[in-house]
Amino acid sequence: MSDEVNTDKDKPAPPVPLKPLGKVLAITSGKGGVGKTFVSANLAAALARRGLRVLVLDADLGLANLDVVLNLYPKTTLHDVFTGKAKLDEAIIKAPGGFSVLLAGSGMVEYSRLTPEVRDEFLRVMESLVPRFDVVLLDTGAGISDVVLFAVSLASEVLLVVTPEPTSLTDAYATIKVLVGQQKRQTIRMIVNQTARPGDGRAITVQLQQVVDRFVPGEPGKPVKLVHLGDIPVDPSVRQAIMRRQLLMQVTPGCPAGLALVQLAGKIEDTVIPKNS
């Protein structure tokens, strides 16, 4: 008989204990300031224009800013749902642009790390939300914290937002490496924001793919694939919309960035959103 003590119960839970939920797309980034929330909100509006029932969940639990982008002042947030102060339906509100949002409270230090309570509540909310919508966009925090990685683990697809800046690409590579290593992701879709010229985003994706092929081989026989989903060009209309706290897709949908978002939405509906899920 062995004298060894079973310490399995003392070990931390595995980082990805869940099967990704269908129809859930995580919009994430390696670093902040790349326009991730702008992309999430306007992509939701573009998808809603295509007749889809869309919800954006602000999964940046501690530093939420989706409410700022949408100029909303919610009375009830995800924090209230997690703590039992409100029902889920009370926290889901209509946003400008024809989609629904579930906003998180900002500046809440208790959401800076993934506790079992946060994990369980988050999962409970997601399992309730998914059947109600055609697509759920998770606007995650930036980086590779345990809260961000847990949110991403719930998604069937990952959309990684990057800019051509070297720091963004370096952090994007670090994010890809973690998603492949921890979540066994084989496909990560790239949205390149603030491109200067047509073709820049595809060139950036190819460049990152070469680095990934060399240093992040993935599972045997299952190479990691970066898919260039599309570019959003540098456009003064974007800054104007952000400063006014308005959706670009509502005020100037025909500008270059708006047209790019419309094209992205079409590509996502056709090739990314799981059918019959």
| Closest-CA residue to 137 (of 266, 258, 36) | 36
Q: Pick from 228, 24, 230, 221: which is nearest to 135 by CA? A: 24
pLDDT of residue 110: 65
What distance separates the 2 farthest-apart alpha carbons in the chain?
74
pLDDT of residue 107: 55
For residue 208, the Cα-to-chain-centroid distance in whole angstroms is 19
Which residue reads 């998603």 in tokens?
179
CATH 3.40.109.10 is right for the domain spanning 26-269: no
Mean pLDDT for 11-23 is: 55
pLDDT-derived band of residue 15, with 50, 70 and 90 as boundaries? very low
Lowest average pLDDT, out of 33-42, 76-85, 177-186, goes to 76-85
Encoded amino acid at 263, one letter: Q
Q: Could you identify the residue written with the tokens 């700022």?
A: 68
The mean pLDDT of the chain is 88
> Is the CB of residue 250 less than 8 Å from the CB of residue 45?
yes
Q: What is the pLDDT of residues 96-105, one digit of tens each?
A: 999 999 998 7
Other C-beta atoms lying within 10 Å of the C-beta of residue 94: 10
Q: Which helix (H) or strand (E) segment is 173 a member of?
A: helix 166-183
Q: CB under 8 Å to 62, separation ≥6 — which residues? A: 104, 106, 107, 108, 109, 111, 112, 141, 147
Identity of residue 36: K
Find how far residue 189's CA is from the centre of its chain: 11
Residue with tokens 């998180």: 104
- The pLDDT score that the predictor gives to residue 244 is 94
Query: What's the pLDDT tens digit per position in 225-266?
Result: 999 999 999 999 999 999 999 999 999 999 999 999 999 999
User: Alpha-carbon distance 86 to 169, whole Å?
Assistant: 40
The residues with which 219 forms a beta bridge, in sequence order, are: 222
* Long-range Cβ contacts of 216-225 (<8 Å, 24+ apart): 216/176, 216/177, 216/180, 216/181, 218/180, 218/186, 219/184, 219/186, 222/186, 223/186, 224/176, 224/180, 224/185, 224/186, 224/187, 224/188, 225/186, 225/187, 225/188
